[in-house]
């Protein structure tokens, strides 16, 4: 986790956001929205602060938020949760940290889909566990079930699922989810699923692995308010699953942050109870943003993999003569006034097949995306 000089190596997101600030380029690197979030939700946080909700929350989270998470899981996914099956965390990141630290012992294996969200590998390293990557390949980044079957063995402690997937925007089909559940049962492994993009699906509604037959009993499901309510700085997330497993996660969580974000918790409860029209509107708006960016990148000459979900589009820069995305993203601010992230940052260096691919975020205002689209078209 340290760079060559012994200082903490910044994450690729922090590095690229600093590059955007320095150059004045449009930031399509780090995935955070620039819209304000639903007023009902932000006003509720302001009200909570004024009403004095400013001290430590109960360890497992504000009871009203726990109730709202349960209602949300039932409304959208048909999953019935009891109170002790839910734990509120400081974002999905703490949920991941507490879950993985509670479930992995040194030397255990954890199966991850590669490319992977950067925190997975860092957290596995903190736990002393060994990553077993299952390679996803472009242009569609579909899960190869044969490859998965060779990766999961009796040494596997955790199968880490991320669907919708960051950075590819791919979604696991129900058959893939069922294959993962069957392997988890066969090899006595736990499934940890990161579903922070659950409401940003553009082709078909999200299917949680915990809602599939046999899934719930061996799954810890993680989500977050950051993406769905455009409040990534609030850092309110949650993990749900069988009560005995939640207790184990809690044992770690209480010494990571103890609790966090007291006034944001009732505000997120308001958000989770918003009518269906809010969630449908979010999907419709983001689908249009995806199409705008995918169109501009295609016109500019990139080979684009249109994502089924999430915040990001992957674009191969090789047709533009840019063979190395790590170099290309450092030249893009000068060439096009746009910042993006190299896909290689989400994979082992040996993944040569990902070398020329760039990740662009489209969770931005239409005005900013139009501006970026114009700049990218000029590039072509």
- Which residue from 328, 317, 313, 318 is spatially nearest to 360, judged by alpha carbons? 313
Among 158, 181, 196, 379, binds ligand PMP (CB under 6 A): 196
Among 85, 89, 163, 166, binds ligand GLN (CB under 6 A): 166
Residue 93 in contact with ligand PMP, rule: CB under 6 A: yes
Residue 57 in contact with ligand GLN, rule: CB under 6 A: no
Among 166, 201, 221, 230, binds ligand PMP (CB under 6 A): 166
Residue 162 Cβ vs ligand PMP, minimum distance, rounded to whole Å: 5
Residue 52 Cβ vs ligand GLN, minimum distance, rounded to whole Å: 31
Residues 13-72 touching ligand PMP, rule: CB under 6 A, are 31
Residue 202 Cβ vs ligand PMP, minimum distance, rounded to whole Å: 16
User: Which is nearer to ligand PMP, 117 or 216 (by Cβ)?
Assistant: 117
Are 166 and 143 a contacting pair, CB within 8 Å? no
Residue 224 in contact with ligand PMP, rule: CB under 6 A: yes
Residue 119 Cβ vs ligand PMP, minimum distance, rounded to whole Å: 6
Alpha carbon distances (Å) from 261 to 240, 248, 264, 268, 372: 19, 22, 5, 10, 34
CA dist., res. 138 & res. 143, Å (int): 11
Residue 138 Cβ vs ligand PMP, minimum distance, rounded to whole Å: 18
Within its chain, how far is the Cα of 246 from the centroid? 20
Stated length of the chain: 380
Q: Let me know the angle formed at the C-alpha of 314 by 310 and 319, rounded to the nearest 5 degrees.
A: 165
Residues 5-44 touching ligand GLN, rule: CB under 6 A, are 11, 13, 30-31
User: Which is nearer to ligand GLN, 73 or 166 (by Cβ)?
Assistant: 166
Residue 344 in contact with ligand GLN, rule: CB under 6 A: no
Greatest CA span in the chain, whole angstroms?
58
Q: Which residue in the block uniquely carries the two structure tokens 């449908």?
A: 280
Alpha carbon distances (Å) from 53 to 9, 68, 94, 237, 267: 36, 18, 22, 18, 11
Binding piece for ligand PMP, criterion CB under 6 A, among 64-72, 179-187, 232-240, 343-351: 232-240
CA dist., res. 23 & res. 336, Å (int): 11
Among 42, 101, 114, 117, binds ligand PMP (CB under 6 A): 117
Residue 41 Cβ vs ligand PMP, minimum distance, rounded to whole Å: 15
Beta carbons within 8 Å of 314's beta carbon, 6+ residues apart: 138, 141, 167, 168, 169, 304, 305, 307, 343, 357, 358, 359, 360
Cα dihedral value 217, 220, 225, 230, nearest 10: -110
Applying CB under 6 A, the site for ligand PMP has a residue count of 14
Residues of the shown chain interacting with ligand GLN in the complex, contacts defined by CB under 6 A: 11, 13, 30-31, 166
Residues of the shown chain interacting with ligand PMP in the complex, contacts defined by CB under 6 A: 31, 91-93, 117, 162, 166, 194, 196, 224, 226, 232, 235, 237
């Amino acid at each position: 986790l340290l760079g060559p000089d012994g200082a903490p190596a910044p994450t690729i997101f922090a590095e690229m956001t600093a590059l955007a600030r320095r150059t004045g380029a449009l930031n399509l690197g780090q995935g955070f929205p620039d819209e304000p979030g639903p007023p009902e939700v932000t006003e509720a946080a302001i009200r909570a602060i004024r009403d004095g909700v400013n001290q430590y929350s109960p360890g497992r989270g504000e009871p009203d938020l726990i109730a709202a998470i349960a209602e949300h899981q039932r409304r959208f996914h048909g999953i019935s949760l009891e109170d002790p099956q839910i734990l509120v965390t400081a974002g999905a990141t703490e949920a991941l940290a507490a879950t993985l630290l509670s479930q992995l012992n040194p030397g255990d294996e954890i199966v991850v889909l590669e490319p992977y969200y950067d925190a997975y590998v860092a957290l596995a390293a903190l736990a002393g566990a060994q990553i077993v990557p299952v390679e996803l390949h472009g242009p569609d980044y579909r899960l190869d079930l044969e490859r998965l079957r060779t990766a999961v063995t009796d040494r596997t402690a955790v199968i880490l699922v991320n669907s919708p997937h960051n950075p590819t925007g791919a979604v696991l089909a129900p058959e893939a989810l069922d294959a993962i559940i069957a392997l988890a049962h066969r090899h006595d492994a736990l499934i940890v699923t990161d579903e922070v993009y659950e409401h940003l699906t553009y082709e078909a509604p999200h299917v949680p692995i915990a809602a599939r037959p046999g899934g719930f009993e061996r799954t810890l499901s993680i989500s977050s308010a950051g993406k769905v309510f455009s409040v990534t700085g609030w850092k309110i997330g949650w993990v749900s699953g069988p009560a005995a497993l939640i207790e184990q996660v809690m044992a770690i969580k209480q010494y990571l942050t103890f609790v966090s974000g007291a006034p944001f918790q009732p505000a997120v409860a308001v958000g989770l109870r918003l009518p269906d029209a809010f969630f449908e509107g979010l999907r419709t708006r983001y689908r249009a943003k995806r199409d705008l960016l995918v169109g501009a990148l295609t016109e500019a000459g990139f080979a684009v993999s249109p994502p089924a979900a999430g915040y990001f589009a992957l674009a191969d820069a090789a047709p533009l003569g840019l063979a190395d995305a790590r170099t290309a993203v450092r030249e893009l601010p000068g060439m096009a006034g746009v910042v993006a992230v190299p896909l290689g940052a989400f994979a082992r260096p040996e993944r040569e097949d990902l070398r020329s691919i760039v990740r662009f975020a489209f969770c931005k205002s239409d005005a900013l995306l139009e501006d970026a689209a114009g700049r990218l078209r000029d590039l072509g």
